[in-house]
Chain A
Amino acid sequence: MELLQFSVRKLIAGVPLVIGVTLISFLLMVYFGPDKTFDLLGKNPTAEQIAEVREQLGYNKPFLVRYGEYVRELVTFNFGASESTGEPVTSLLARTIPVSVALALPGFILGNLLGVALGLLAAYYRGGLADKFIMGSAAIGMSISFLIVIIAFQIIFSSSFGLNLFPVRGWDVNSIGDYVSYVTVPTLATVFVALGYNTRFYRSVIVEEMSRDHVRTARAFGVPPAPLFYKLILKNALIPIITRIMFSIPVIIISGSLLLEQYFGIPGVGKATYDAIVTGDQPVLKAVVALTAILLVIVQLLTDILYRAVDPRVSLK
């Protein structure tokens, strides 16, 4: 009951956020975004033609009326059709979001799990050889540009100059085997880069937690290192870990991995968004922006509930 009340309150409190985000991004889209009039008319249009097309596109209406239409589309979840392909936006999203999630999920899970594990290891052997090795590798992972990593991994794993094990581009998934073959190289590249950032972050969180008084108490009562780290310290460190993981979820679902999808030719939502930005496809952009904001509100709510689950001092009041 407490949970339900809290959720409803949080979701209502999220409405201003969604309005703010959509208002600002729509403002930018309308006043600074591409004007499709001339794309449609080509060279040398007459004044009447211009007026007609602007009328069709709705460009001549006042901003607030247009924003009102946007809000109505958002509430009814009907954003119309893509201006470039004519595909309904909802079906476009339903087609591309699962692909993005499927592409990003293995890297996301592995990157965080390995990050926590290596962070724990480095923290445990703090100052020692293992720590130096792990943190050195992390620094290397962070220092190399994602783009270089993608290209290098494509050469190593997917070209005749290297192992030539996996397809270099595309997404023709009909079975688990297909999925593995398409997702492996992108996942490796993601993990390679994400691991650097994650390990550094998790190590610092855990090291900070190690210096707490209750850790000294636990040691004074003979708690062995394994339960000390995996149970007592990790549970205390979970709040920043949860925050980091949860808030990267909207990015994965909505924005996707733009670079990955672009370079591996994967038809995910990141690529769709990128194309929409380039062509000024407003219906798609409006949907993506609104969805991101809504997802953020939901993620915040879930994050708060998870905080409550790990830390009894957090109250949902």
Chain B
Amino acid sequence: MTATPLLKVTDLAIEFSTPQGRVRAVDGISFDVYENETLGIVGESGCGKTVTGLSLLGLIPSPPGRIAAGSIELAGRNLAKLDEAAMREVRGGEISMIFQEPMTALNPVFTVASQMTDVIIRHKGLTRAQARREAIDMLGKVGIPAPARRLDDYPHQMSGGMRQRVMIAMALACGPKLLVADEPTTALDVTTQAQVIELIGQLQREFRMAVILITHDLGVVAETCQRALVMYCGRIAEQAQIEPLFRSPRHPYTHGLLDSIPRIRDQRLTQLPTIAGRVPDLLNLPPGCRFADRCTRAQEDCRTAEPELTQAGQSAFACYHPIGHQPAEPVA
């Protein structure tokens, strides 16, 4: 890990105006991503992970959304301050994003060739013929058989897995420094999921880029990421390397998430543990810890002031009463 991070997000807050008032979908989160690293962002629906991903490309729908505070520095440049035209250069050039729904994420009325070469021409300034050769090359790299022929297909002539491969090829065509993958495998069947995840890992090594993998699938995170953030209700609950995060989660929410994964060998388990209660309404947040109402370890102080994210041992977590006070304590 190099000393200077490629991407440095500091105190990022993203607000949406709603008829009921302003809502902070993301409330003061900070994290770094280093070159050649895969960072996982984990959390349940609505915790702000997709909004965080979109904000990195300046794609928060505005209005009603806006970046209310904080900075997003990519190689020393604050993206939150860039204007729209400069941001367009970044999108697809320095940062690429791939999305959850490969079935609808490509434009149905244009060929793959048209969509890919447009991106390549725009960012690399090549001629159409050169861009076409690059596109064929990229399609080959993502494992599409007979790429020269498939290039002229329309998206509906391809399977979901193939379309996601096309998305990845398009995302990597201009050699981005950072790839944001928002639930890239959720809509795919399990075999295709594994292939796509493997492909992203393989291309990451080849292109030496950083990857932010946004997912709710902890299995995928454990397999592919070096580090992960666990987000809850617009805040970071815990941030750690994968090893300590999975072996000895400190935040009760992380623990609850891990506990609710079905284990194949646990034959005697009759009912899967779940985290009781519901995510609080972002319009009506409790004064203390946002997880307090659902937490088994919550005490009086949890309900009065919100815990800050603090580094302790191998993890950073926002909790007054973390699991395992000694870092060395073995996990039950």
A residues sitting closer than 8 Å to B (CB atoms) are: 127, 212-214, 216-224, 227, 232, 235-236, 310-313
Give bound CA distance, A154 to B107, whole Å: 47
Give bound CA distance, A311 to B88, whole Å: 28
Give bound CA distance, A310 to B119, whole Å: 21
- Contact across chains for A213 and B88 when beta carbons are under 8 A apart: no
Closest 7 CB pairs of A and B: A221-B92, A222-B91, A213-B104, A222-B88, A214-B107, A222-B92, A312-B154
- Contact across chains for A221 and B170 when beta carbons are under 8 A apart: yes
- Contact across chains for B106 and A217 when beta carbons are under 8 A apart: yes
- Contact across chains for A313 and B59 when beta carbons are under 8 A apart: no
Could you list 6 examples of A-B contacts with CB < 8 Å?
A: A213-B105, A216-B99, A220-B57, A222-B89, A232-B107, A312-B154
- Contact across chains for B119 and A221 when beta carbons are under 8 A apart: yes
Interface size for chain B: under 10, 10 to 19, 20 to 34, or 35 or more residues? 20 to 34
- What is the distance, in angstroms, from B62's C-beta to the closest C-beta of chain A? 10
Near A by CB (< 8 A), chain B positions 101-127 give 101, 104-110, 118-119, 122-123
5 more CB-based (< 8 A) A-B contacts, given A213-B101, A216-B99, A313-B156:
A217-B99, A221-B92, A222-B89, A232-B110, A311-B108
B93 located at the interface, meaning its Cβ lies under 8 Å from any Cβ of chain A in the complex: yes
- Contact across chains for A220 and B101 when beta carbons are under 8 A apart: no
Contact bitstring B166-197, A, C-beta under 8 A = 1, else 0: 01001100000000000000000000000000
Question: Which A residue's beta carbon lies closest to that of B101?
Answer: A213
Give the contacting residue for B96; candidates A221, A223, A232; CB below 8 A. Answer: A221
- Contact across chains for A310 and B170 when beta carbons are under 8 A apart: no
B219 located at the interface, meaning its Cβ lies under 8 Å from any Cβ of chain A in the complex: no
- Contact across chains for A224 and B104 when beta carbons are under 8 A apart: no
B302 located at the interface, meaning its Cβ lies under 8 Å from any Cβ of chain A in the complex: no
Give bound CA distance, A222 to B84, whole Å: 10
Q: A127-B63, A312-B156, A313-B156 are in contact. Are A219 and B91 (CB under 8 A)?
A: yes
Give bound CA distance, A80 to B89, whole Å: 70
Residues of A within 8 A of B171 (CB): 221
- What is the distance, in angstroms, from B138's C-beta to the closest C-beta of chain A? 13
Near A by CB (< 8 A), chain B positions 215-265 give none
- What is the distance, in angstroms, from A235's C-beta to the closest C-beta of chain B? 5
- Contact across chains for A219 and B59 when beta carbons are under 8 A apart: yes
Give bound CA distance, A127 to B90, whole Å: 27
B212 located at the interface, meaning its Cβ lies under 8 Å from any Cβ of chain A in the complex: no
Residues of B within 8 A of A220 (CB): 57, 59, 91-92, 96-97, 99
- Contact across chains for B93 and A222 when beta carbons are under 8 A apart: yes
- Contact across chains for A213 and B99 when beta carbons are under 8 A apart: yes
Residues of B within 8 A of A127 (CB): 63
Question: Which A residue's beta carbon lies closest to that of B92?
Answer: A221
- Contact across chains for A222 and B119 when beta carbons are under 8 A apart: yes
- Contact across chains for A217 and B107 when beta carbons are under 8 A apart: yes
Residues of B within 8 A of A214 (CB): 104-108
- Contact across chains for A310 and B109 when beta carbons are under 8 A apart: yes
Near A by CB (< 8 A), chain B positions 35-77 give 57, 59, 63
Give the contacting residue for B59; candidates A216, A227, A311, A312; CB below 8 A. Answer: A216
- Contact across chains for A222 and B90 when beta carbons are under 8 A apart: yes
Residues of A within 8 A of B104 (CB): 212-214
Give the contacting residue for A223; candidates B57, B106, B118; CB below 8 A. Answer: B118
Residues of A within 8 A of B93 (CB): 222
Residues of B within 8 A of A224 (CB): 85, 88
Residues of A within 8 A of B101 (CB): 213
Residues of A within 8 A of B91 (CB): 219-222
Give bound CA distance, A251 to B123, whole Å: 48
Give bound CA distance, A217 to B57, whole Å: 11
Residues of B within 8 A of A223 (CB): 88, 118, 122
- Contact across chains for A236 and B107 when beta carbons are under 8 A apart: yes
Give the contacting residue for B122; candidates A216, A222, A232; CB below 8 A. Answer: A222
Question: Which A residue's beta carbon lies closest to that of B111?
Answer: A312
Give bound CA distance, A216 to B123, whole Å: 18
Residues of A within 8 A of B154 (CB): 312-313
Q: A213-B101, A223-B122 are in contact. Are A218 and B89 (CB under 8 A)?
A: no
Give bound CA distance, A232 to B167, whole Å: 17
Residues of A within 8 A of B88 (CB): 222-224
- Contact across chains for A311 and B109 when beta carbons are under 8 A apart: yes
Most B CB contacts (10 A, CB to CB) among A127, A222, A235 go to A222
- What is the distance, in angstroms, from B149's C-beta to the closest C-beta of chain A? 16
Give bound CA distance, A235 to B111, whole Å: 13
Give bound CA distance, A232 to B93, whole Å: 20
Most A CB contacts (10 A, CB to CB) among B85, B88, B96 go to B88
Residues of B within 8 A of A311 (CB): 108-109
Give bound CA distance, A313 to B99, whole Å: 22
Question: Which B residue's beta carbon lies closest to that of A314?
Answer: B109
Question: Which A residue's beta carbon lies closest to that of B182?
Answer: A220
- What is the distance, in angstroms, from B323's C-beta to the closest C-beta of chain A? 38
- What is the distance, in angstroms, from B71's C-beta to the closest C-beta of chain A? 21
- Contact across chains for A235 and B96 when beta carbons are under 8 A apart: no
- What is the distance, in angstroms, from A159's C-beta to the closest C-beta of chain B? 47
- Contact across chains for B109 and A236 when beta carbons are under 8 A apart: yes
Give bound CA distance, A290 to B156, whole Å: 40
Give bound CA distance, A312 to B122, whole Å: 25
Give the contacting residue for A222; candidates B107, B110, B123; CB below 8 A. Answer: B123
Give bound CA distance, A42 to B185, whole Å: 84
